[in-house]
Structures are given as C-alpha cells and as structure tokens.
Amino acid sequence: MRLTGAGANLVTIHAGCDTSGTGIALAVAANDVAIQNLKLIGGTDIGVDVSNVDHVSITGVSTYDVCGRVSYGVNVYQSTRVRVRRNTITDIPAAEAAIYVGSFPANGRVTVGGTCRPRMAVGPLGRIRFPASS
C-alpha cells in the first residue's frame, strides 16, 4: 500500500491531541507499506508507529508535535526491512528520541538516514545501518 502526498507543504494529516485514543498519529498496520511526501501534525505519544510489520518505507515526511506530548517522531519496533529517510522531525521534547528503533529480530534490517532533527537520538539498537547519504 502507498500513501503518497503531493509534498509536505501541500498534504497534511492532522491527528489532533485527543488523549482518549492510542496516542499514535499514523500507525502502519500492514506489510509492504510506503509513506511519502506529506506533513503529519499531532498525536499524543508517537508520530508514525511501525510495529510488528515487514517492508516499510517512510520518506519525505515532516512530523510536528503540536500537542506537546509526543515521545517519538517515528517508532520502529519489532519490525523488519524498514527504511526511514529524508524526513524532518520537529518539536519533539529534547529528552525523547526523534526516531526510536528497538527490539527487532536478528534478521531485521532497519536503515535510518538523511533525517533532520537537532540532537537526534535513537533507542536501543540491534543491527542498524546509518548510511552517509540516502
């Protein structure tokens, strides 16, 4: 499945700040998903959640925490073959991670590159590559 916007300045998903739901602005719940070229605003815990899935690409996505509570711009957890590249993650509290990668299987391949966030932090790592350019 592809979710493709015409650009982060043109297409916006506003998840709001409601605390009664999961707190996830955009959850990837299927394998073989590509998300690209859009703006994601809101969520109260996670901007983009990639958990327990395979073959996911997140490219050219801008995330903004307007609620003041998002812990991770992108969360990659127990997933395989994930690429997070050329994204912009802003307004995440300094104590949290712009991108969290953790607890993925030994055969899981996760690539993070070209993503902007001052003082970017990445969570506990298994096998992960940080290419010089994406």
pLDDT in tens, the chain (134 residues): 888 887 767 788 888 888 777 889 999 999 999 999 998 888 888 889 999 999 999 998 988 888 888 888 889 999 999 999 888 887 776 547 778 888 878 778 888 887 665 444 444 444 344 444 33
Best CA proximity match to 75, nearest among 50, 56, 112: 50
**C-alpha 7: how far from chain center:** 17
- Quote the pTM value: 0.81
Distances (CA, A) of 49 to 54, 79, 131, 132: 13, 11, 22, 25
**C-alpha 5: how far from chain center:** 16
Tell me what pLDDT residue 79 has. Answer: 93
